[in-house]
């Protein structure tokens, strides 16, 4: 990965992921690899030891943390029940290193969500109430796996916990998941929105109603639903 370093792309990525002081990605650094390059490496070395994957996940380089997560997804999807539990447990204990929105969004549903489909989901409530921004985002994005199975209750439960979160990245994630619910059952989504839209952050609302007919969207935005 270091041999593929691209300083030009690195500068672009630092702006895109808001790495300046005071921003959500403050201090994050990049090698400048493309996602396809990183996926190719992850597919080649996915079965290396958890010790080495942990080193990658703890790397200061965003690209290397991404590679570690892609390896974990590969291991999880190919693994037995025992392997899946090991990957899930590892992910939960290392969640603080899944520390940017793209890292959360590519991995939370594929590992945490899929693992919890037929299991108790208390960890999601714990994460939703965490002081760590990324754990909170994991809690809602993980529910995308449930939505794909037409299970909406936990998405709405976590959305309610996060309804008044102060961070824009949580507003976007909750709105996104509500929109995904709406794609499968618009009545379920709107029932939640009718009860909550007046007090939810504007960004969250805009994300949630994005696929509704224009007249219905305007009604929500004007507060006349």
Task: Express each pLDDT in 131-171 by its tens digit.
Answer: 999 999 999 999 999 999 999 999 999 999 999 999 999 99
Hey, what domains does the chain have and what are their CATH numbers? 1-97 (1.25.10.90), 109-225 (1.25.10.90)
- State yes or no: pLDDT of 79 exceeds 80: yes
Q: Say how many residues make up the chain.
A: 225
Alpha helices in 94-143 (DSSP H): 101-107, 114-116, 122-128, 133-141
Alpha helices in the chain (DSSP H): 7-16, 35-45, 50-57, 62-78, 81-93, 101-107, 114-116, 122-128, 133-141, 144-147, 153-161, 168-184, 186-196, 202-208, 214-222
Is pTM beyond 0.85? Reply is yes
Q: What are φ and ψ of residue 152, in 5° steps?
A: -110, -15
Task: Express each pLDDT in 37-60 by its tens digit.
Answer: 999 999 999 999 999 999 999 999
């Amino acid at each position: 990965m270091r041999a593929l370093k691209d300083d030009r792309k690195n500068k672009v990525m630092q702006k895109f992921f808001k790495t300046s002081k005071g921003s959500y990605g403050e201090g994050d650094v990049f090698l400048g690899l493309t996602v396809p390059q990183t996926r190719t490496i992850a597919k080649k070395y996915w079965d290396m030891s958890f010790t080495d994957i942990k080193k990658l996940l703890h790397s200061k380089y965003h690209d290397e943390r991404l590679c570690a997560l892609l390896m974990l997804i590969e291991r999880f999807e190919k693994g037995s029940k025992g392997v899946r539990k090991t990957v899930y447990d590892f992910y939960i204990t290392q969640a603080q290193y899944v520390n940017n929105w793209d890292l959360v969004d590519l991995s939370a549903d594929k590992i945490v969500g899929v693992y919890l489909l037929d299991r108790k989901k208390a960890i999601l409530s714990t994460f939703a109430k965490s002081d760590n921004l990324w754990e909170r985002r994991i809690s809602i994005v993980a529910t995308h796996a449930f939505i794909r199975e037409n299970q909406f209750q936990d998405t709405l439960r976590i959305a309610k916990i996060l309804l008044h979160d102060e961070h824009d990245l949580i507003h976007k994630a909750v709105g996104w998941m509500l929109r995904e619910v709406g794609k499968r059952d618009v009545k379920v989504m709107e029932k939640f929105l009718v009860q909550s839209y007046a007090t939810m952050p504007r960004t969250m609302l805009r994300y949630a109603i994005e696929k509704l007919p224009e007249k219905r969207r305007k009604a929500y935005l004007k507060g006349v639903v």
